[in-house]
């Protein structure tokens, strides 16, 4: 089942597009010359971005698998981008056959790809919503979410390598946007975020950010504290079998690698346990 809400249109083929940029950094082929040219220039300035994006996908998979092992059966993937294996709902359905997932993006081309690749190749129940996730009411009040997700039960909210493409808007910082989602989720729910940062190499990331912004690509690498502010009052979890990454957990010292030199990751859980979660 699929219907769409009014949302921004996809970029023209000659205009760099964030979903296609992310796909190129992941090594995918859903790109146009505009993204490939821009990506080469960006990576000359901040080479760690592509590795951080690929490691972010692997980190997200490890985090969602660990949460599924604790009983999580639902996922909402915001700003999903072009489908890239491993898919979050596959991580959940590995221990649970009855799983449900909602993939959200504003891009109609991405929606078409996710619908074609994900709907018929999995036992999980998946829905696809074309909406701007920075307007939470469009997602939380959508028929797609009501069909796919039970908000009275815990779920995992996934934001993998997407929030840095969503700068804070005047009067509406990303903390308020994410806070609206977190408030709507049941106790025991979790959030997984991977996010580019300039904390480890401010000069290189600033050059990459300036180039992206000059070409019309919205981009805001955030600091450690800015990312922690997104999950304030939630309990941070240590990752299980996750790749080397600068994860934000007070008991884990982040390794200094090429990957952790460009990004952070965090797993956090809403206080309280509901339903079937361990």
Domain count, the chain: 1
Does 84 map to a domain?
Answer: yes
pLDDT of 166 reads 95
- For residue 278, is it within any domain? no
- Considering the domain boundaries, does residue 177 fall inside one? yes
- Report pLDDT for 276: 45
The residue written with tokens 């999995």 in the block is 122
Question: In degrees to the nearest 10, what's the CA dihedral of 62, 104, 132, 148?
Answer: -120
Residue 61: which of 231, 192, 255 has the closest Cα?
192
Q: What is the pLDDT of residues 166-217, one digit of tens each?
A: 999 999 999 999 999 999 999 999 999 999 999 888 999 999 999 999 999 9
Highest mean pLDDT among 93-97, 98-102, 135-139, 240-244: 135-139
- d(Cα 215, Cα 207) in Å, to the nearest integer? 13
Whole-model pTM?
A: 0.86
Answer yes or no: is 8 within a domain: no
- For the chain, the maximum distance between any two Cα atoms, rounded to a whole number of angstroms, is 49
The answer to whether 184 and 151 have CB atoms below 8 angstroms apart is yes
Phi-psi region of 39 (alpha: psi -120 to 50; beta: other; left: phi over 0): alpha
Cis peptide preceding 102, ω within 30 of 0: no
Report the SS3 class of residue 139. helix
Q: Report the range out of 46-55, 169-178, 239-248 with the highest average pLDDT.
A: 169-178
How large a percentage of the chain has pLDDT more than 70?
74
pLDDT in tens, 98-119: 788 898 988 887 777 666 665 5
Domain of 69: which CATH number? 3.40.50.150
Residue 4 resides in a domain: no
Q: Which residue range is the domain that position 23 belongs to?
A: 18-269
Cα 124 to chain centroid, rounded: 19
Q: Is residue 2 part of a domain?
A: no
Q: What is the 3-state secondary structure (H, E, C) of 36-70?
A: HHHHHHHHHHCCHHHHHHHHHHHHHHHHHHHHHHC
47 within domain boundaries: yes
Tell me whether residue 198 is in a domain: yes
């Amino acid at each position: 089942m699929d219907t769409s809400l009014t949302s921004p249109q996809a970029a023209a083929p000659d205009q760099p597009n964030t979903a296609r940029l992310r796909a190129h950094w992941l090594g995918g082929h859903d790109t146009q010359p505009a993204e490939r040219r821009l990506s080469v220039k960006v990576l000359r300035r901040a080479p760690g971005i592509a590795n951080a994006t690929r490691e972010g996908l692997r980190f997200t998979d490890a985090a969602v698998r660990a949460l599924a092992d604790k009983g999580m059966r639902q996922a909402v993937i915001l700003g999903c981008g072009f489908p890239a294996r491993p898919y979050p709902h596959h991580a959940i359905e590995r221990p649970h056959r009855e799983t449900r997932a909602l993939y959200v993006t504003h891009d109609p081309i991405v929606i078409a790809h996710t619908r074609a690749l994900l709907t018929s190749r999995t036992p999980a129940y998946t829905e696809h919503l074309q909406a701007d996730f920075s307007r939470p009411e469009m997602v939380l009040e959508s028929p797609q979410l009501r069909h796919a997700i039970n908000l009275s039960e815990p779920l995992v909210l996934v934001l993998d390598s997407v929030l840095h493409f969503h700068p804070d808007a005047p009067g509406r910082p990303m903390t308020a946007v994410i806070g609206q989602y977190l408030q709507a989720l049941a106790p025991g729910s979790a959030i997984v975020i991977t996010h580019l940062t300039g904390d480890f190499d401010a000069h290189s990331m600033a050059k990459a950010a300036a180039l992206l912004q000059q070409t019309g690509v919205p981009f805001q690498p955030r600091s450690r504290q800015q990312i922690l502010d997104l999950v304030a009052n939630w309990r941070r979890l240590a990752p299980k079998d996750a790749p080397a990454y600068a994860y934000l957990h007070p008991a884990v010292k982040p390794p200094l690698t090429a990957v952790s030199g460009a990004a952070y990751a965090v797993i956090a859980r809403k206080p309280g346990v509901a339903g079937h979660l361990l």
